[in-house]
Amino acid sequence: MKKLTAGVFGFGDVAVEYVKAINNNMHGQVVAIVGHDVERTKTRVAQLGFDVEVLATFEQLVERNDIDVIVITSPHFLHAKETMMAAKAGKHIVCEKPIGMNIKEVNEVYNVVKASKVKFQCGMVLRWNPYIQTLKQMIDTEVFGQIFYMEFDYFHKLSSSWNGFTWGGQKVSGGPSASLVAGIHAVDLMRYLGGEVEHVFANGTWGHRDDFEYAPTYVASVQFANGAVGKTGCSFAIESPYLVNSMIHGSKGSVVQDRFYFKEAFPGQTGWQKFETIMPDSGAVSHHPFRFLIDDFFDAIIQDRPSMNNIDETFKTHELCMAIDHSIATSEKVGLPFLK
């Protein structure tokens, strides 16, 4: 079978991991890269030993007839335009979050991708983390029994050391909110493991930070459609290491971070036991399972099936983030569906 060829737009650390993941897949090969600065990109490509062509513009990627897949890792405010251009050109798309800066853009991206019938995968990579996959398997096989409480939070201090600050990651024009910059990872895990949400109520605060145009800390209470309740939060203002907080309580037992307690499954259990697995405990992109995200995506193209983070899943996660943002802004409980 002919390999699926890919072009990557943006050449930061996340893009490098995508190149590695695609070239590691037996069905994929990266053939072209576009970076912010052509000469710097050529230098980095040579240093990393990638056998690819360096192009000057995103438009050149889209126009290439020999490219099947486009990976978008550019600044947030460019994602909507670039995704729609790629979809209209018939390219399969992997796009980093968020797919849009506001309700209008998210709706437009959704409609264009659906109409184009191309395959789509959003870069909410934590779904493929081995710990998360373990929780998913436990839920699907009813190890928890009836789940009645769940929480996932994303805590990661963001400062000028993150290159996203240079293009406005802390500004409404480049963010545009804590939920869409990175809280979306925790929001997506809530949906992936807990199911759809009926309504949400959220509050935000600046805390001790004054260099954000949006509240860099928020907490949201959610009511799931199945009757369970939960909480999701995010903070870029913490003064402690990266943390993805997780907790699930069910009628048969509980999981708190890397500890579990299930008396029915383990009758001799006298206290918490620990998972021996890879936890989502590092903000380093090299720690994130991009390989599995790409493997799922390429298999979806070949088998003509939906990818795990297809455009429908992506839309619903963005919808919940925007409902959180609306609740913070209005101090009101917001029902789902929210986007029109």
What's the confidence (pLDDT) of residue 164?
87
Q: Which residue is associated with the tokens 């020999």?
A: 66
HSE-up of residue 8 (Cα within 13 Å, Cβ side): 29
Domains along the sequence of the chain with CATH:
4-125+290-310 (3.40.50.720), 126-283+317-335 (3.30.360.10)
How many whole angstroms separate alpha carbon 263 and alpha carbon 145?
12
Q: Is 149 left (phi over 0), alpha (psi -120 to 50) or beta?
A: beta
What's the confidence (pLDDT) of residue 163?
82
What's the confidence (pLDDT) of residue 339?
78
pLDDT tens readout for residues 214-266: 999 999 999 999 999 999 999 999 999 999 999 999 999 999 999 999 999 99
Tell me which residues of the chain have a pLDDT lower than 70.
Answer: 1, 340
Beta strand pairing status for 120-122 and 147-155? unpaired
What's the confidence (pLDDT) of residue 340?
65
pLDDT tens readout for residues 30-50: 999 999 899 999 999 999 999
Enter the pTM of the model: 0.96
